[in-house]
Structure 1
Amino acid sequence: MDKSISFLLGAGFSAPKGYPVGNSLSNLLLNCRDDFFGFSTDGRLCISRDGKKPDFGFKTSYDFEFDFCCDLIQYFNELKGYFDYEEFYDFFNQEAKVNTGVKELFNTKSYGDQKDFDQMIFSLKNIYTQLVSHYLVDGDGESWYDNEGHMGGSWWPGYTGILNYFKTLQKEYLINIHTLNHDLLFERLTISDWFKDDLTDGFEELGSPYYGDILINNRNYRCRLQHYTGKYASNIRLYKLHGSKNYGVYYRPQGSSLIPETYLKTRWGIGFTELLKEVNDGNGNLKYENCWVNYHADFLTGTTSKIERYQEPLLYKTLFEHMKNNLEEAERLVIIGYGGRDSEVNRMLLSHFDFRKKPSYIIDPYPGKNIKELKDQLGARLITKHLEDVSLDDFL
């Protein structure tokens, strides 16, 4: 297809499904307690099948790191007078090591045998990323949709209007979806009458040498995993600019070092400590190399920290290059549920989309100050409707 339309989706796109956004996610983290989860000896956040707190017989070092993370969240909240989960990520990445109050907090409280302050700060990313991922669930407590049945018909509560708009566009346009969300809601649409199998995201399973282990009913299975190839074959293309809760890095051994090789997509039940690569041992036999350094998904957060990673060549730089090219070729731009707070994303929109000659639209029933400013800069039409109520007429 010669014609294309670019979409940018923010957290507001997932809100009708019950996902926590903005302040609600910050409040969940601010009030976080480990009453129903714990951290295993390999660093994974774990939940018991019966919903009770897992009992490993003792507190692991990761449990103590979680305690410190919770204390630091409270310290940050008192320091700022509010808690923002992205600003907190920047704080412990960029300021915590030199903040005297943080060091005093560490020295005056007991965190088991954890005595190395710098190491404790370093460990926070593993813990905090898993906490954010833990709370990224919809209103039904779901976050994986691979076992969902095919969604037939032309009605889906909260989304009917926008999905019917997508379906209309498919007939004439190449649709490029750029999302800042880490959840898997959009992928759920691949098993629906709206998208069917027409959605690609640059990951492929065919020919992949990467696997993950899964334990079901005390039986161990090895599943092939998709890896990023950068190929987009369908007319609906998904670019997860900030990563996803199912994206992880595979590191290959090189001497005494581990080198990031590619991004993989895990599946339900497969953690990030069970990533393997099938290789030839040099004698014509296959063996599996275990990537043992992962604890959590790789997605971007923070207000400034994430921007620093936009140039990483393994995935994010490629995704943003696609976005720039897509914006330049797009006949129109549609922004949904984006708060307008990412300065670099805003710059790309204004630099690569020809807003002086081409129409743009912002769908937001409750637009804030930042998105209103972006609307004025783009000269966009503001559609203050819920996604359920959007219709084709709004774009004419």
Structure 2
Amino acid sequence: MREISLLLGAGFSVNKGYPTAKQLNNKITSLTAAQFAVAQQGSVCWLKPEQEDPYTHTSYYIYKLFTLELIAFYASQHEYFNYEEFFDYYTNVNKHNDGAFEKLCNDFREKHHNEDDNINLIAAHNSIFNQIIAGFLVDREGVRFYPNVHRMGPYAGYNGFLGCLQRWGEDRILHINTLNHDLFFESLNHTDAIHGELSDGFSELGSPYYGSLENQAKIRLSYFSGKYSSNFRLYKLHGSLDQYPFHLMNGGQIDNYIKTKPGIGITDFYKEVVDENGNFTYINDFINYFPDFLSGTTSKILRYSDPVYYESIFKAFEINLQKSDMLILIGYGCGDSEVNNIISNNFKGKIYVVDPFPQANTIEFCKINDAKLIEKTPENIGLPDFE
């Protein structure tokens, strides 16, 4: 059976109303203390207009203020704010002699009577910042999790794309790689084009992992098995908003990655194990505070070789490129140097780049790889574009 690889970037979700990188940067730099709170377990809660922060008496309120000050500090030093470059900056700042950052931290500690060192301030900020990004990654209706309801007929903004998928999926394996963290593509599983036949490498049957609802009832959760059983195969190269590492209790080692469901708390993940007496029991992962997705222009590349999940998913990316005779890029700005290298080293067929407004990186990528540039949106493309 012939195989096709696709690579989706942020531009793919724009027709659904997800923020562009520029819009996301603006949302972050415009963030105020009145918009969110940080609960005692470290989870970010979004406040309604004129709603007061109920956690002002906790240390997490201090960490919230540090996040806002750090964003403002970084933005004041750069003409253009880029949230991925900002991520690279603060995750590496303690490795450098940055006097301005040191002064920021010292002034902050003095002003708020805080005794945390720089490392702990950055750690608290990182948890908050990742949750803020996740909070902004919603469609124009404010939806993050989509119901498992079949959507019949046309799908505005994506009709051409879905028509191609439906035809190709009849007799070909489609390796759909995405750099997006949002859950939009998963929702397309419930369309006439895919008909619920999307496999994502996660398995629920026989999973020892559970989530807990408010009434303490436990629900089985999918875990990453690396198994794909259908012609439509999804690979989340940079992680996902519903994807969390499950940590073992011996030092926080990652055991596997699991997918959560709406209504389950971020610290309510469990693994069913057999204790020393041969009885079934549950161990709790209380380390999770935010979903695992990759950020940073260079920091994310360092994690491509993480032994749990990412190494496996990128190895599959390489192998599938080698087996495919067609590679289609949609909404990808061609700015990830390591992804570009993987394509160059593993794919030898014809490349098609779908981008209605190509920038310099995209045009250069097309020239280097002799790729066909299709200046259309996912709504307008059709099978003749790929002949």
Matched, 1:340 2:334: yes
Partner of 1:260: 254
Cα distance, 1:318–1:10 mapped onto 2, change above 3 Å: same
Matched, 1:234 2:230: yes
Asked if 1 retains the 8 angstrom alpha-carbon contact of 2:160 and 2:378, the reply is yes
Cα distance, 1:78–1:172 mapped onto 2, change above 3 Å: same
Partner of 1:163: 162
Alpha-carbon offset, residue 286 of structure 1: 2.1
Matched, 1:108 2:104: no
Q: How many residues align?
A: 384
Asked if 2 retains the 8 angstrom alpha-carbon contact of 1:6 and 1:332, the reply is yes
User: Aligned partners of 1:298, 1:282: CA distance in 2, in Å?
Assistant: 32
Partner of 2:137: 136
Q: Per-residue CA shift, 1:151-189, capped at 9, x if unaligned?
A: 012x11111111111111011210000100000001001
Cα distance, 1:186–1:294 mapped onto 2, change above 3 Å: same
Asked if 1 retains the 8 angstrom alpha-carbon contact of 2:38 and 2:55, the reply is no
State the one-letter code of the partner of 2:78.
Answer: K
User: Aligned partners of 2:335, 2:198: CA distance in 1, in Å?
Assistant: 28
Matched, 1:124 2:125: yes
Provide the secondary structure at the position in 1 that maps to 2:248: strand
Provide the secondary structure at the position in 1 that maps to 2:233: strand
Partner of 1:270: 264
Q: Per-residue CA shift, 1:310-349, capped at 9, x if unaligned?
A: 0001010111100001111101000000011100000011
Partner of 2:246: 250
Asked if 2 retains the 8 angstrom alpha-carbon contact of 1:39 and 1:60, the reply is no
Asked if 1 retains the 8 angstrom alpha-carbon contact of 2:37 and 2:55, the reply is no
Q: Per-residue CA shift, 1:195-243, capped at 9, x if unaligned?
A: 122111110111111111122xxx3321111000110111111010000
State the one-letter code of the partner of 1:56.
Answer: P
Partner of 1:80: 78
User: Aligned partners of 1:313, 1:123: CA distance in 2, in Å?
Assistant: 25
Provide the secondary structure at the position in 2 that maps to 1:143: coil
Asked if 2 retains the 8 angstrom alpha-carbon contact of 1:340 and 1:346, the reply is yes
Structure 1: gaps spanning 5 or more residues:
none
Alpha-carbon offset, residue 112 of structure 1: 4.9
State the one-letter code of the partner of 2:76.
Answer: E
User: Aligned partners of 2:319, 2:80: CA distance in 1, in Å?
Assistant: 38
Cα distance, 1:338–1:200 mapped onto 2, change above 3 Å: same
Cα distance, 1:195–1:59 mapped onto 2, change above 3 Å: farther
Partner of 2:151: 151
User: Aligned partners of 1:55, 1:223: CA distance in 2, in Å?
Assistant: 31
Q: Per-residue CA shift, 1:40-67, capped at 9, x if unaligned?
A: 111011236x666464353432222221
State the one-letter code of the partner of 2:130.
Answer: T
Provide the secondary structure at the position in 1 that maps to 2:75: helix
Alpha-carbon offset, residue 122 of structure 1: 2.5
Asked if 1 retains the 8 angstrom alpha-carbon contact of 2:42 and 2:289, the reply is yes
Asked if 2 retains the 8 angstrom alpha-carbon contact of 1:182 and 1:243, the reply is yes
Alpha-carbon offset, residue 139 of structure 1: 0.5
State the one-letter code of the partner of 1:70.
Answer: L
User: Aligned partners of 2:232, 2:271: CA distance in 1, in Å?
Assistant: 30
Q: Per-residue CA shift, 1:242-271, capped at 9, x if unaligned?
A: 0001111111123xx232100011111223
State the one-letter code of the partner of 2:173.
Answer: L
Structure 2: gaps spanning 5 or more residues:
none
Q: List structure 1 segments (4+ residues) > 6 angstroms apart after TM superposition.
A: none
User: Aligned partners of 1:117, 1:55: CA distance in 2, in Å?
Assistant: 25
User: Aligned partners of 2:267, 2:90: CA distance in 1, in Å?
Assistant: 24
User: Aligned partners of 2:249, 2:52: CA distance in 1, in Å?
Assistant: 33
Cα distance, 1:262–1:148 mapped onto 2, change above 3 Å: closer
Q: Per-residue CA shift, 1:69-118, capped at 9, x if unaligned?
A: 21111111121211000000000011256311111112223345344222
Provide the secondary structure at the position in 1 that maps to 2:366: helix
Alpha-carbon offset, residue 148 of structure 1: 4.8
Asked if 1 retains the 8 angstrom alpha-carbon contact of 2:40 and 2:55, the reply is no
Provide the secondary structure at the position in 2 that maps to 1:388: coil
State the one-letter code of the partner of 1:362.
Answer: V
TM value normalised by structure 1: 0.93
Alpha-carbon offset, residue 295 of structure 1: 0.6
Alpha-carbon offset, residue 140 of structure 1: 0.4
Cα distance, 1:251–1:38 mapped onto 2, change above 3 Å: same
Cα distance, 1:28–1:96 mapped onto 2, change above 3 Å: farther
User: Aligned partners of 2:57, 2:4: CA distance in 1, in Å?
Assistant: 52
| Identity percentage of aligned residues | 38
Q: Per-residue CA shift, 1:330-377, capped at 9, x if unaligned?
A: 0100000001110000001111000xxx22100000001111111111
My pick for the range that moved more, 105-114 or 50-59, is 50-59
Cα distance, 1:289–1:53 mapped onto 2, change above 3 Å: farther
Asked if 2 retains the 8 angstrom alpha-carbon contact of 1:174 and 1:236, the reply is yes
C-alpha RMSD over aligned residues? 1.6
Provide the secondary structure at the position in 1 that maps to 2:277: coil
My pick for the range that moved more, 335-344 or 266-275, is 266-275
TM value normalised by structure 2: 0.95
User: Aligned partners of 2:100, 2:199: CA distance in 1, in Å?
Assistant: 47
User: Aligned partners of 2:105, 2:81: CA distance in 1, in Å?
Assistant: 20
Partner of 1:323: 317
Q: Per-residue CA shift, 1:110-139, capped at 9, x if unaligned?
A: 345344222112322211111110100000
Partner of 1:70: 68
My pick for the range that moved more, 190-199 or 204-213, is 190-199
